[in-house]
Structures are given as C-alpha cells and as structure tokens.
Structure 1
Amino acid sequence: MWTQRDLTLKPVRRGFHLITREVVSALPELSGVRVGLLHVFIQHTSASLTISENASPDVRRDFETYFNHAVPDGWADFEHTLEGPDDMAAHIKASVLGSSVSVPVREGRLAMGTWQGVYVCEHRDHGGPRRLVLTLMGES
C-alpha cells in the first residue's frame, strides 16, 4: 500500500514547532498499516524537519538559541542578501537539519520513542505557510 498526501502548515513564528499531531491527522490510512514507513518531506529551502524531544518547551527554545548562535542572521560574509538578513542563514540551517524525516510505522502508529516528536523548524521571521509531502508505505 502506498498513499501520498500534501499537508500545508499554517505560518508559525521562527522556531521549532511540534507537528506530529498534524501529520498523523492528515493520514487516516495510518491506522490500517501493520508495518511500514512514513516519509515526510518539506518543499522549502528555508525551513526544515527533525525529530527530537516532545515534552519540554525548553528543548525547542534551546534549539533555536543554538542555531541562531551557530548561523547568525545578516553575517557580513554572506553574498546572498537580496531576500533579507534572515534568508541565507535560514538556507544554511535548513541544509544542516535536512528536508525530510522517515518514521517507522507499527500496528497503525508511528513507532517513535516515548519522548520523540516531529518538528517543523522555521528559520525565517516571516516564512509563511509550509508545504509537506507525506508518503506512507506499508502492509495492512
């Protein structure tokens, strides 16, 4: 069985945002998959995806603090500056974190650890809606 859905996320502020519920809600077929894999891909170059701790908001804030320190907006050596001071930094952060995650599916549920969740990482101040492609494959 293969299923593919597009999911458009509402605009969010810059930062790391849990989207596990939105992803699961967009795939009613998930409940019928005994064993499989969910691939989540973001169709943008200034936002990314990751899997990390899903309980403490401190983790989300610390991710944002780290990445803003590692790749500051408006770094003087950036050549690509036409789209604002946060654009090139956003491209680098998105490349480091990546454009997709894959999650195993077992008995109709995502087989993540107790404290894991899927994040969209918004690296721009005004990124706008973000489009995801969800590809579910598996056996019922």
Structure 2
Amino acid sequence: MRQASAILSFDTPGRGFTDITRAMAEWQRGTGIAEGLLTLLCRHTSASLLIQENAAREVRTDLAAWLDRIAPEGPHYAHDDEGADDMPAHLRATLTGVNLQVPVLAGRMALGTWQAIYLAEHRRMPHRREIAVHLIGA
C-alpha cells in the first residue's frame, strides 16, 4: 500500500465553477498509484467541490441560479464581515460540500463519461483556493 498527498492551488475568476479534473488527473498519474482512493478537501469555507456534468454548460448555469435562490445575498444575515456575499458563500459551501472521494481504477479516476470535478467559488471576487489531495492505493 502506498500513499501520496499534496496541496494544490487554483485561481478562481470569482463566482462560478472551475473545472479541475485535468489537474487532478495529472497529479494522480504522477503518483504512480494505479488502484486506490483519491480524497480531495477544499480548505475554505466559502468555496466547495462538486462532481457534475461536463458537457452541457447549462447544468452549471442552472446550478448557480438554484444556489442564488436558496442562499441569496441580502441584509438578513448577522454574519457579513466580508460583504454581502460572505454568509451566502458559507451556506452554498455547506450545501455543496468541501470534500470528495473518487476511486482510481486501472490508472485513472473512475469518473463517469459526463462527469468532471469542479471547484465552486461562491464569492464574487477572484480567489486563490487550496485543495488538499490524498491518494492511497497500489
């Protein structure tokens, strides 16, 4: 059994979804581990990780619109230390989650045909986000 871990950084353009699948696959291949379990953790409370469709952009557009409806900006939050998008960003991260696990089979992440890994930025401004990755296997 072998293990590999790292902290990878990604720049986000502001609110939206950044496809990090290719970076995760390159890192995983570089470990030489062909069978195992890849764990990802977003090290932030106002960004999150999702596995979602990578073909129809409208899926991400609809998801963003849903998140806007379920956790809207507004003056109704007690926590607004960093602006009107502060607390809604925390809620959106809670709803979508900050960690993922992806099996690695035959040297590749076992994602489905139309699946990609996205870093969801829930703040309006660009940020540099860190993802802790850990792969255990053989």
Q: Normalization by structure 2: what TM-score?
A: 0.93
Matches within 5 A, 1:34-113: 34-74=34-74, 76-113=75-112
| Structure 1 position 18, deviation (Å) | 1.5
Amino acid corresponding to residue 67 of structure 2 in structure 1: F
Contact 1:93-1:123 at 8 Å conserved across structures: yes
* Structure 1 partner of 2:130: 131
How many Å separate the matches in 1 of 2:33 and 2:26?
14
C-alpha root-mean-square deviation of aligned residues, in Å? 1.3
How many Å separate the matches in 1 of 2:19 and 2:30?
21
| Structure 1 position 61, deviation (Å) | 0.9
SS in 1 for 2:60: helix
Moved over 3 A (4+): 27-30
| Structure 1 position 127, deviation (Å) | 4.4
Contact 1:5-1:27 at 8 Å conserved across structures: no
* Structure 2 partner of 1:13: 14
How many Å separate the matches in 2 of 1:27 and 1:106?
11
SS in 1 for 2:38: strand
Alignment coverage as a number of residue pairs: 137
Sort the Cα spacing of 1:127 and 1:92 in 2 relative to 1 into closer, same or farther, 3 A: farther
Deviations 1:31-80 (A, max 9, x none): x3332010011100000001111111111111111100111012x32100
Identity of aligned residues (%): 39
Runs (5+) with no aligned partner, structure 2: none
Deviations 1:51-110 (A, max 9, x none): 111111111111111100111012x32100121000000001001111111000001100
How many Å separate the matches in 1 of 2:106 and 2:34?
4
Contact 1:46-1:90 at 8 Å conserved across structures: yes
Asked if 1:121 is matched to 2:120, the reply is yes
SS in 2 for 1:10: strand
Amino acid corresponding to residue 69 of structure 1 in structure 2: R
